[in-house]
Each structure stands twice: as structure tokens, then as C-alpha cells.
């Protein structure tokens, strides 16, 4: 007697359902929108700023954050540690605002963290296509805020979405 090997219709339907369900759960994460990528980069910068503040105070060392507009990257270094971050997906710094330097949008900016924290606040504006995010770092408490759009002055609530 000869037995035919094969799948039943029910087995095929179950396999197709499992594959479809898996694809539905995984696919949205594969397509990162420009807004999500920009927000992720703002969070990464915010976390780096807070990390440097805490490390400088905890280890009693000076850390220097370098923002490079030409390479769309930022890095930090101390006596014993250094790291570089390259922004992806055409995300770039629009400008960096430090009270003693004003608004800088070309070249490099070096922002130092000492054991007592940095001497002044910093605001970083990131952009991709028509989207912008602002990272505002408070030099007194070492915390950062992330705002959607181009925030000019956090205290007065002035927001400006410039293109």
C-alpha cells in the first residue's frame, strides 16, 4: 500500500497564520520613521549629558563633550574613558546654544563637565528633514529635557518651529 505524504489544509492554514502573526509583530519595528529616529537620537544625547554630569561628579574628573557639526557626531573623553557617537539616517545638529558662546552651527563645540558640573546650561537642536527636537540640559541639577520642535527659550515658553 502506498501512502501519500503531504500537509492537510488545516496544517497549512495554521502555519500561514503563525507566519502572518510573526510578520505583523516584527515589521513595524523594521521601518523606523524619521520622527522616531530623531526622537531616539535626542534621548541618546540626553542620556549622554546626564551620564557625563553624574560621572564627573562621582569620579571627580573632568569630562569634555565635543559636538562636531561637520561629522554629525558627538563624543566625550576624560583621563580614562572616551566614546564617539555618530548620528545616522541624515540626523544632524542644527545648532548648539551655550550662553558664553551664543548659537553655534558650524565647526565644533566643546562643553566641559567638572566635578561640580558644567558652568552653564546647553541647548541642542537636532533635525531631520522637516522634524526637529530640542535637548535642554540643566547644569544645576544635571537633568535634561527633550522637547519636540525648535524650542528657543524654555522658561518663557517661547517655542518656534523654524524651517
**What integer pLDDT is reported at residue 159 of this predicted model?**
43
Decide if 61 contacts 79 (C-beta within 8 A). yes
**What integer pLDDT is reported at residue 34 of this predicted model?**
63
Distance CA 110, CA 105 (A): 13
Three-class secondary structure of residue 104 per DSSP: strand
Lowest mean pLDDT among 1-5, 16-20, 70-74: 1-5
Dump pLDDT digits (tens) for 115-138.
Answer: 998 999 999 999 998 899 999 999
Instruction: Give the single-character DSSP code of 117.
Output: B
| Higher per-residue confidence, 110 vs 163 | 110
Lowest mean pLDDT among 2-16, 57-71, 87-101: 2-16
> Whole-model pTM above 0.85?
no
Distance CA 24, CA 31 (A): 12
Mean pLDDT of the chain: 87
Q: Where are the domains of the chain?
A: 34-155
Decide if 125 contacts 95 (C-beta within 8 A). yes
Three-class secondary structure of residue 33 per DSSP: coil
> What percent of the chain has pLDDT above 90?
67
Is the pLDDT reported for residue 162 higher than 90? Answer: no
34-155: CATH class: alpha beta
Dump pLDDT digits (tens) for 60-86.
Answer: 999 999 999 999 999 999 998 999 999
Using 50, 70 and 90 to split pLDDT, how confident is the model at 16? very high
Amino acid at each position: 500500500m502506498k501512502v501519500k505524504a503531504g500537509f492537510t489544509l488545516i496544517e497549512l492554514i495554521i502555519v500561514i497564520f503563525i507566519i502572518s502573526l510573526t510578520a505583523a509583530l516584527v515589521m513595524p519595528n523594521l521601518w523606523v520613521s524619521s520622527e522616531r529616529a530623531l526622537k531616539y537620537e535626542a534621548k541618546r544625547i540626553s542620556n549622554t549629558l546626564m551620564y557625563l554630569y553624574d560621572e564627573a561628579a562621582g569620579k571627580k574628573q573632568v569630562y569634555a563633550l565635543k559636538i562636531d557639526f561637520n561629522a554629525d557626531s558627538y563624543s566625550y573623553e576624560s583621563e580614562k574613558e572616551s566614546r564617539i557617537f555618530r548620528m545616522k539616517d541624515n540626523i544632524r545638529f542644527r545648532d548648539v546654544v551655550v550662553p558664553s558662546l551664543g548659537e553655534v552651527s558650524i565647526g565644533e563645540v566643546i562643553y566641559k563637565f567638572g566635578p561640580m558640573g558644567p558652568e552653564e546650561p546647553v541647548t541642542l537642536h537636532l533635525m531631520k528633514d522637516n522634524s526637529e527636537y530640542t535637548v535642554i540640559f540643566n547644569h544645576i541639577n544635571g537633568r535634561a529635557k527633550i522637547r519636540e520642535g525648535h524650542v528657543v527659550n524654555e522658561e518663557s515658553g517661547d517655542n518656534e518651529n523654524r524651517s
